[in-house]
Amino acid sequence: MKTILLLPAFFYGLIQAALPPQSIAPLYDHLHEVNAQWQYQTDLPFSLSETVFFTDDTERIHAHLERVILLLRQRQPELSEAVLARRLHLLDQLATYSEARQFPQNLFHAQRQPYFIDHEGTACAVGHLLQKSGFEAFAEKVSREMNYAYVMDMPYPELGSWALSHGFTKEELALIQPGYSPTITWNPVGHGTDGTVRHMYHDPASQRLYVAGDFDWIDSVAAHHIALSENGQFQPMGGGLDGEITSMQAFNGKLYVGGYFTNGKNIAVWDGNAWSYEQAISDTVTALAVFQNELYATGAQGIGMSGTQTGFFAKKQNGQWLNKRSFEGPAYCMTNHNSRLYIGGALSPASFHPYFAAYTADGNAVIPATQSFERLDAPIRDFASDGTFLYAVGDLCDDQQNPTFGFARLGNSGWELLYQKDLSTGNFNRRSFKKVMVHQNQVLVSGNFQLTPFVGIYGGGVAKLVYQGSYSFLEAVSILDTTVHAMAEMNGELLIGGAFDSLGTTWDRKKAGHLLKTDQFTGLFDTDISPLSLHPNPMETHSRTILAGSGPLESVALFDVKGQQVSVPIHIRGREIEIERGNLAPGMYFVRVKGADQQLGQGKLLVR
């Protein structure tokens, strides 16, 4: 097994070079995180050595602006009476702006970035000063052409002239201008549920979302352990189900639900009006999958001669379930990857390589997933494929707290370890990844874990895989109080469900209702490619951008949230690009611009 992508927890944080607002650290470190111009400031009327923390980045930016205002008020530049009056008036405006705490949102970048005016029209501090002094048109021009630039990199003579006539230096404007941290905003799904969400499944054919778990109502709708959402409205599915629900799969216009039910059956079938039941071998069905237009089930049954639970692998054929293979040890998951159906679990070495297997495309045999003698050292809990790699997740440690693989991927050269519990730093104080999925070209893991790097983004429940050169690390994208059992994608949004009932830090808890969603991910983005400043954004009929530099543009491509290219009228005039809406449905889209031999820009485009 290769471990070339594994880094110690403390190094992950150093790569990110980000200080979480909740970190207890000197005030200088927090202010420098918001704006690096603090390193050049002298003769301060306050101390930056006090140790502080903040509930979130909004409060930290507010603290930054408060100190900037104190510093600029105590300075006494030689100005005319009229210019000084304008300076003091704008500092008052800046104080009001800071107190309102309505700052731009960073939706389109994976790192801290200035936003002159964001997608909702919220201006940064410098943009706000321009607007309040009657220079709205110039602020709009900056937003169109250099929305994500730092003040010191803006070449506009108008900016220098405005600063001079309003009593500021360009260096002071640079100090005012914050960078904004990446924003992942989780929102409740209606009123949530009254119990743990265990599984979710989105059927792309019917555009229905199915949710199952230990609940009796969902979004104020009575639904016994299972419900469907259509057009944003939840509705019950008959009288619901009694028993353990482990998996769901649409097949031939019906929904198949795996598990173990109180009537002794292990598959329930919903035809749109009522439930019926089937039996795939015995005991618990743990996973269902469609492979080559046929339905398969796998799971666990009984206790074998070795004293351990055995597994089964069955196929529905001519209306009957036929056992295709038995395993020593239970199977937990299945997925399609490169014309094979992969099976994972706590499978025994007596059968083949432990914990993983593959069903061949011709449907005749179960074979090892790789031909070498490598193995994963813990049961596989879930699989996901991006077409190139097969990703596997499992427990982060065994019952004796010894670290196990946690997160790995299978490529042409075998298994590569992506993440493992680091006992020396204690960067995990919980113990399992439950699910893995590919969402907007990003690999996400969820489960019962907590990331606590020395420096970096604190959080738990959901994390994304981030590549930095030849290294990889996990970056938290949520702060949840306990396990995330399920993830699903629907209409470009990521939905998560679990046992959690609260979202946020201990200083700022919000009700979560076991079910949350977000549409804020940068999955198609490469941080080495320049961001596009699209305007207007969101768009209703068209959007434009002007690229800096020179040279011909080769192509402009637009992708939907699933990474599929979509066709709309796009006009290229020199370095200016205009995108027409055409027949685009409302939602999130990704724009990529190519030159002769390289990517020139990328951006997110919201369509109303």
Burial 100-124 (b: 16+ CB within 10 A, else e): eeebbbbbbbbebbbbbbbbeeebb
* pLDDT for 421 beyond 70: no
Q: When comparing pLDDT for 436 and 406, which is higher?
A: 436
Give 237's contacts (C-beta < 8 A, 6+ positions apart): 223, 226, 227, 228, 270, 275
Mean pLDDT of 341-355: 70
At 369 the three-state DSSP class reads coil
Question: 4-55: per-residue pLDDT in tens?
Answer: 333 333 222 222 346 778 778 899 999 999 999 999 998 899 999 999 988 7
Q: Which residue has the tokens 């990003």?
A: 442
| Average pLDDT score, the chain | 83
Which secondary structure element, helix H or strand E, spans residue 350, and what is its range?
A: none
Amino acid at 273: N
Question: 193-222: per-residue pLDDT in tens?
Answer: 999 999 999 998 898 999 999 999 999 999
Percent over 70 (pLDDT), the chain: 82
* pLDDT for 187 beyond 70: yes
Q: Residue 442: its pLDDT value, please? A: 84
Q: Which residue has the tokens 């201990």?
A: 506
Q: What is the DSSP letter of 388?
A: S
Q: What is the DSSP letter of 284?
A: E
Question: 222-264: per-residue pLDDT in tens?
Answer: 999 999 999 889 999 999 999 999 999 999 999 999 999 999 9
Question: 352-390: per-residue pLDDT in tens?
Answer: 455 667 676 555 566 665 544 356 788 899 999 988 899
Give 589's contacts (C-beta < 8 A, 6+ positions apart): 558, 559, 560, 561, 566, 604, 605, 606, 607
Mean pLDDT of 516-533: 63
Predicted model pTM: 0.68
* pLDDT for 589 beyond 50: yes
Q: What is the DSSP letter of 375?
A: -
How far, in Å, CA of 186 to CA of 519, rounded?
Answer: 8
187: tokens are 């929102």
Q: Per-residue confidence at 583, pLDDT binned at 50, 70, 90?
A: confident
How far, in Å, CA of 504 to CA of 55, rounded?
Answer: 9
Q: Per-residue confidence at 113, pLDDT binned at 50, 70, 90?
A: confident
Q: Can you spell out the DSSP letters for 452-502?
A: --SSS--EEEEEEEEEETTEEEEEE--BBSS-EEEEEEETTEEEEEES--E
Q: Distance of CA 456 to CAs 16, 19, 427, 469, Å?
A: 6, 6, 11, 17
**What is the distance, to the nearest Å, from the Cα of residue 355 to the centroid of all Cα atoms in its chain?**
27
Q: List phi, psi (to 5°) of 125.
A: -60, -45
Residue 561 burial by Cβ neighbours in a 10 Å radius (0-12, 13-18, 19+): buried
Q: Per-residue confidence at 2, pLDDT binned at 50, 70, 90?
A: very low
Asked which of 331-335, 434-438, 522-526, 557-561 is least confident by mean pLDDT, the reply is 522-526
Nearest CA to 177 out of 157, 147, 140, 156 is that of 147
